Amino acid sequence: MASFPTLMFRIAVVFLFLFHTISTAVNRIDPSESISDGTTLVSKEGTFELGFFTPGNSTNRYVGIWYKNIPVQRVVWVANRCNPINDSSGLLTISNTGNLVLLSQNKSVVWSTNSSKQAQKPIVELLDSGNLVLRDGEDRNRETYLWQSFDYPSDTMLPNFKFGWDLRTALNRRLSAWNSWDDPCPGDFTVGFEFDPQLHTFPEAYFRKGSAKFYRTGPWNGMRFSGSPEIRENPLYSFEFVYNDDEVYYTYNLKNRSVISIIVMNQTTSLRERIIYIEADQTWKLYSSVPRDDCDKYGVCGANANCIINNNPICQCLRGFKPKSQEKWNLMDWSEGCVRNNPLNCTKKNEDGFIKFSELKVPDTTHSWVNKSMNLEECRAKCLSNCSCTAYTNSDIRGRGSGCAIWFGDLMDIRTCSDGGQDLFIRMSHLELEKGKAGKKKRAVIMVAIIGCFSGMVLLGYCICRRVSKESNFQAIRIIMFDKTDRIQTISQDGDQDEDLELPLFNLSSIIAATENFSMDNKLGEGGFGPVYRGKLEKGQEIAVKRLSISSAQGVKELKNEVKLIAKLQHRNLVKLLGCCLQEEEKLLVYEYMPNKSLDSFIFDQKQGKGLEWSKRFYIICGIAGGLQYLHQDSRLRVIHRDLKASNVLLDNEMNPKISDFGLARSFRGNQTEEKTSRIIGTYGYMAPEYAIHGLFSVKSDVFSFGILVLEIVSGKKSTGFHLQNHGLTLIGHAWKLHKEGKSIDMLDKHLREAEHNVKQVLRCIHVGLLCVQQSPVDRPNISSVVVMLGSDSELPQPKLPPGYFLETDSDKGDLPFTELASSSKNDMSISLFLAR
Ligand SMILES: *[C@@H]1O[C@H](CO)[C@@H](O)[C@H](O)[C@H]1NC(C)=O
Ligand SMILES: *[C@@H]1O[C@H](CO)[C@@H](O)[C@H](O)[C@H]1NC(C)=O
Ligand SMILES: *[C@@H]1O[C@H](CO)[C@@H](O)[C@H](O)[C@H]1NC(C)=O
Ligand SMILES: *[C@@H]1O[C@H](CO)[C@@H](O)[C@H](O)[C@H]1NC(C)=O
């Protein structure tokens, strides 16, 4: 036991030590202190640092703020953006007017804050949020700081930062990219909220290059910016949009400080990028970026047109409109946009009406008006009452919708967003509406026939099902009919909410004709739940028809799943569902036809494999990753495929890969990322260990299957049965062994040996493949990281040993499909066996 005086002495030493460390890392200055080049301010908890720095290849000195503990310096704010100091004489101090000033050698002011109020006791402090504030004494209210760097951002948005307006002081916090890597002076690339508070226009953020708009986020619709599906619930950050009489801003906050996420305007790429920093990786990584695609380009289709990314060409006049110049339109020059077939007739009352369009990013809000307390009915009346009003909708789409937004004049920059769009009611002349009605009457007749047929079927089905089983089959029977907006709606009989399927309904007789009564000659193969046939519709369009085997009750459930899911999912790397037919006993899904069949027919085939040179294989790998990324992250639902494999990747005539067969997919809403299932569905050789053994599936089990697929594409070898010729090593084991020996290139399909290939790319793919098949799901990258890794030259982490399924014993093959290395010890590679069931 230490005596009392010794103890006191120790405490005193500890205090002295603490005091010492605090005093060397200063987080604030008063008028008697200053910061010279070489010294810094450090925020209280050591998160941020302020000091002098030199960007890129420049020799100039600037004052900036950066994360203190991140080794790669990333400056998040710059004071003297356009007024550098060319030597190390800079001095940051508080002037006698109470402003923070930056002085150069001859004591001239290079940069200064602009507080109009003079503080009694001015203090400048760097906060742990990254905000540099000028305050009076101990006033710590964000609202009454005399000046704060968060009000004058550079190119970076930090957590907790308010991006947007303070209407009380008319302060607009915009971001502007650096001129170049060497020059923090604002470039021509800026973004900020633009609106007219007097006219109550609907606020939204515009990206500009110089003065030209080149992207807009869409206005906030209660859940996200209309047409910005990348804004959604996620594990990294929460977000909020505030719109009231005092303020209009977007802000976000980190959910877990161990993953930092910031938003940066990048002059080089012309993108607004969200990048994240994970401590373990020690690098910044791209998380998401906008604009995303051609349809995001501002006004690409001109006025009154709709951009649909999966269409060819992408631009279409809205219904009721025609190209202003048909000739130019035919040449894919859409700049003049579209004009009405029939002009509006505003003078005669109540002659105009509206057509509802769905899943849109709403038009440019420059000429708009918003009112948060009106309902949709009042909104419609408001629009009708003003001759220049051309469209209206709810300003908040949450729940049943509320508020009113209306547009005046031409409707600019509309696109279809199947994963996050909303309804828009566009004004039409009565002539246009009557045309629609005439068409509708015809459809109504058909509809009655269909309903008749279906209700008969429901009754019949009901009786049969009652006898066979009380629940299983009956669930899948739905009446399908057209709703007011000409879309197909299903009314489910099992108590689900009504869902828009957005799917054309095919007539059984047309499918029978197209497939020559499902002739054997037209059979393409046997899919998950029944055979697949090739067919040709009357108009010449080729289709693939999946005919669900009626006997399988399980299959009906899967079909329902599949129809619901695929209808909502559209991406260039996913097979498109064209429609369905649920007539008589037939349950058919109609897909676009893929002339080049599936990937396995190429990579595992000697002759075909030769034709598939490396560049194409790489293209296919990236495409599959893109499709999977959409399923996991970009679509409105979170979808886990659960049966990704070479035979489920189809190729169109340009060898674009398309993921098919979502019968096994599960969708998740919100944060649910992992589920346990008692029914393991999947394919031997592609299943992640935790799924095969414990029934645990997650996005990471898909990543595992993707990794296997990559190794197969590179090597041209099937993962199943590989061990038979290779001394018990699985394909993964083989890849790992070669990787460790630095001979990964030997993995490459021998058909490609002589052909030209990009060695670096091949090695990168194998490396990424190995990262994806790591034993522990936590260690596997998510698919977004995979996409980034494939597309960049950044250094890759080493895969952890052991990978899933290293060795395989073929003696036990029947009941024991998997053997894996379970030890995580690096030196001692003990082998233990896990039984699959
Ligand atoms: C101080 O130096 C700057 C350049 O560093 C120059 O522009 C300015 O005129 C000088 N002022 C005085 C008072 O010499
Ligand atoms: C934050 O993340 C770290 C590492 O991923 C984890 O250990 C920690 O539990 C997380 N904290 C919270 C509050 O979620
Ligand atoms: C902009 O993008 C380029 C290319 O991806 C990257 O090298 C650069 O670091 C980015 N700049 C900023 C400011 O993030
Ligand atoms: C219609 O709305 C426009 C735009 O807000 C406005 O300028 C005009 O005065 C309105 N016309 C009528 C008749 O209210």
pLDDT given at position 111: 97
Atom 10, ligand 4: residue with shortest CA distance = 386
Which protein residue has the closest C-alpha to ligand 2 atom 11? 256
Closest Cα to atom 5 of ligand 2: 258
The predicted pLDDT at position 712 comes to 92
Residue 549 confidence (pLDDT): 63
Q: Atom 8, ligand 1: which residue's CA is nearest? A: 108
Residue 294 has pLDDT above 60, yes or no: yes
Which of 87-91, 236-240, 313-317, 564-568 bottoms out in mean pLDDT, i.e. has the lowest? Answer: 564-568
Omega of the bond prior to 802 within 30 degrees of 0, cis?
A: yes
Ligand 1 pocket check for 106: Cβ under 6 Å: yes
Give me the DSSP letters along 552-614. -HHHHHHHHHHHHHHHH---TTBPPEEEEE--TT--EEEEE--TT-BTHHHHT-HHHHHHS-H
The 3-state DSSP composition of the chain as helix, strand, coil percent (nearest 5) reads: 25, 30, 45
pLDDT of residue 320 exceeding 60, the answer is yes
CA 509/CA 538 separation, integer angstroms: 11
pLDDT tens track for 746-764: 888 887 765 566 888 899 9
If you measure from the C-alpha of residue 267 to the centroid of ligand 3, how many angstroms do you get, rounded to a whole number?
Answer: 8
- Clarify whether 643 is annotated catalytic: yes
Structure tokens at 93: 């101090």
Pick the residue with more confidence: 668 or 162? Answer: 162
How do residues 652-661 score in pLDDT, each as one tens digit? 888 889 998 7
What stretches of 37-146 adopt beta strand conformation (E)? Answer: 41-42, 48-53, 62-67, 75-78, 91-94, 100-103, 109-112, 122-126, 132-136
CA–centroid distance for 486 within its chain: 29
- For the chain, the domains span 23-152, 156-292+830-837, 295-434, 477-593, 597-806
Structure token pair of residue 43: 């925020």
Q: Tell me which of 46-55, 202-211, 221-230 is least confident.
A: 221-230
pLDDT value at residue 168: 93
The active-site residue, picked from 183, 643, 661, 702, is 643
Atom of ligand 1 nearest to the CA of 86: 5
> What is the model's pLDDT at position 229?
83
Is residue 712 within 8 A of residue 646, CB to CB? The reply is yes
Query: From ligand 4's centre to the CA of 388, what distance in Å?
Result: 7
Q: How far is the CA of 405 from the centre of ligand 2 (A)?
A: 41
Q: Of 157, 185, 189, 269, which is best to mutate to test ligand 3, by the most ligand atoms within 8 angstroms of its C-beta?
A: 269
Closest ligand 3 atom, CA of 275?
14
> What was the pLDDT predicted at 137?
86
Measured between alpha carbons, how far is 65 from 75 in angstroms, rounded to an integer?
6
Pick the CATH number of 597-806 from 1.10.10.10, 1.10.510.10, 3.30.360.10, 1.10.1040.10: 1.10.510.10
Distance CA 567, CA 578 (A): 8
477-593: same fold as 23-152?
no
In angstroms, what is the span from residue 376 Cα to ligand 4's centroid?
19
- Best residue among 238, 254, 256 to mutate for probing ligand 2, ranked by most atoms within 8 Å of CB: 256
In which band, very low, low, confident or very high, does the pLDDT at 408 lie, cut at 50, 70 and 90?
A: very high
- Residue 681 predicted with pLDDT over 70: no
CB proximity list for 641: less than 8 A, separation 6 or greater: 628, 631, 648, 659, 662, 664, 665, 702, 705
- Report the share of the chain in percent with pLDDT over 90: 44
Largest CA distance in the chain: 101
Q: For residue 409, list its beta bridge partners.
A: none
Dist. CA 178–CA 742, nearest whole Å:
41
Does any ligand 1 atom lie closer than 6 A to the CB of residue 107?
A: no
Q: Whose CA is nearest to atom 13 of ligand 2?
A: 256
Tell me how far the alpha carbon of residue 407 lies from the centroid of ligand 4, in angstroms. 11
CB atoms within 10 A of CB 247: 14
Domain 477-593 belongs to what architecture?
2-Layer Sandwich (3.30)
Mean pLDDT of the chain: 80
Q: Which long-range contacts (CB under 8 A, 24 or more apart) does 380-388 make?
A: 380/354, 380/425, 382/406, 383/354, 383/425, 383/427, 384/350, 384/352, 384/427, 387/344, 387/346
pLDDT at 827: 27
Q: CA triplet 154, 290, 424: central angle to 5 degrees?
A: 120
Mutate to test the pocket of ligand 4, among 370, 408, 410, 427 (most ligand atoms within 8 A of CB): 408
Q: Which secondary structure element, helix H or strand E, spans residue 786, and what is its range?
A: helix 783-791
How many angstroms does the Cα of residue 171 sit away from the middle of ligand 4?
Answer: 28
pLDDT attached to residue 202: 96
pTM check: above 0.85: no
CB 504 within 8 A of CB 495: no
CATH H-level, domain 23-152: superfamily: Bulb-type lectin domain (2.90.10.10)
Tokens, residue 159: 């957590």
Are the beta carbons of 729 and 721 closer than 8 angstroms?
Answer: no
- Region 318-323: mean pLDDT is 95
Element (H, E) at 188: strand 183-194
